[in-house]
Amino acid sequence: MMSSSSVGEGDDGLAAAANVAEEKMQLDECMVCSDQKRDMLSLPCGHITTCSGCAVRVKKCLICREYIDDKKKVQLMHAYKLHF
């Protein structure tokens, strides 16, 4: 893929919407493997950055670089569903 960074003329709105959707997808994905959903809560900072598989390899939070004292498995999918 060529890395031409030409920002489109005309379809700005569509492009922006697509970008937002992509960012949301990435927020859901584990920051280490990008394959599994994030489901491990880092304590004490409270960020959710990795899946349970990758959490064992992460000693510092990937967002705030705080040392991780404890981890808690969360069920994000269930949490989302409860809202509806």
Size of residue set near Zn ion by CB under 5 A: 12
Distance in angstroms between the alpha carbons of the first and the last residue of the chain: 40
The neighbouring-strand residues paired with 42 are 71
Q: Residue 43: name the closest of 20, 22, 72 by CA.
A: 72
Work out which of 28, 29, 36, 71 binds Zn ion, going by CB under 5 A. 36
Of 8-16, 20-28, 35-43, 69-77, which part binds Zn ion (CB under 5 A)? 35-43
Contacts with Zn ion, residue ranges (CB under 5 A): 30, 32-33, 36, 45, 47, 51, 54, 61, 63-64, 66
